[in-house]
Chain A
Amino acid sequence: DTGVSQDPRHKITKRGQNVTFRCDPISEHNRLYWYRQTLGQGPEFLTYFQNEAQLEKSRLLSDRFSAERPKGSFSTLEIQRTEQGDSAMYLCASSRSQETQYFGPGTRLLVL
């Protein structure tokens, strides 16, 4: 499968714990995006990378959230001190420059 992959697919954690998600983009894609989706809503943009540079962050990305793409390939999204409001599907997408974004299957996070 040469699509976008995400790991884990599901994560249940207790409030206050830290969690980290991984995204592996399509191999030749230089851009990588993170979105968050809550039930019944469309995905909302969080941040994106061009190669290893993080070029834009949404105001939704609070100080507890950090994303990295150290070698310009896979990316990680960490949430520190999770809150119940962080419960959502976290989606990763990749693209070749400004072309179509292709999404991964998502990581569903539940904070208890």
Chain B
Amino acid sequence: GESVGLHLPTLSVQEGDNSIINCAYSNSASDYFIWYKQESGKGPQFIIDIRSNMDKRQGQRVTVLLNKTVKHLSLQIAATQPGDSAVYFCAENMVTGANNLFFGTGTRLTVIP
């Protein structure tokens, strides 16, 4: 969903459950996508990335899915832990163009012990 000011989309999950965080990106020409995790007072931390020639990529406990048809990106976190509580941002980039990242709104994930 859209955020207005401080009202980030939020997701609350029980510890041990799987989490799915969604992101709609804006530029159909974007060909590189990254998920970042940001804890309070810290800089964004790289989680996983995917290029547009793939539709799925797996890391340790995380999976990113890319649907170019509807310009949608999702991050799946398996067996969510309290340390996963943070704000998650998707970012898009055009590898062959200007190199700046465009960040989405962000989703606040809260893990309930």
**Is residue B80 contacting chain A, with contact meaning CB distance below 8 A?**
no
User: How far in angstroms is the closest Cβ of chain B from A64?
Assistant: 20
> Interface size (B, Cβ < 8 Å)?
26
Inter-chain contact A42/B103, CB cutoff 8 Å: yes
A106-B95 CB under 8 A given contacts A56-B100, A100-B34: no
Q: Which residue of A lies closest to B105 (CB)?
A: A42
Distance in Å: Cβ of B17 to nearest Cβ of chain A: 26
B contact residues around A95 at 8 Å (CB):
99
Among B36, B43, B98: residue with most chain A CB under 10 A: B43
B43: nearest chain-A partner, CB-CB? A103
Interface of B is mostly: loop
A48 at the interface (CB under 8 A from B): yes
Q: Does B6 contact A (CB under 8 A)?
A: yes
> How many CB-defined contacts (below 8 Å) exist between A and B?
61
Distance of A60 Cα from B9 Cα, bound (Å): 25
Known interface pairs A56-B98, A105-B42. Does A43 touch B5 (Cβ–Cβ under 8 Å)? no
> What does the 1/0 interface line of B13-53 toward A look like (CB < 8 Å)?
00000000000000000000010100001111110010000
* Chain A interface extent, by class: 20 to 34
Q: How far is the CA of A35 from the CA of B89 in the complex (A)?
A: 14
* A87-109 residues at the B interface, CB under 8 angstroms: 91, 93, 95, 98, 100-106, 108
* With known contacts A31-B99, A98-B99, A40–B5 Cβ distance under 8 A: yes
Task: Name the A residues within 8 Å of B99 (CB-CB).
Answer: 31, 33, 48, 56, 95, 98
User: Could you show 9 A-B contacts with beta carbons less than 8 Å apart?
Assistant: A4-B43, A31-B99, A33-B101, A40-B5, A40-B106, A43-B103, A56-B98, A95-B99, A108-B41
Residues of B within 8 A of A (CB): 3, 5-8, 34, 36, 41-46, 49, 89, 91, 95, 98-106
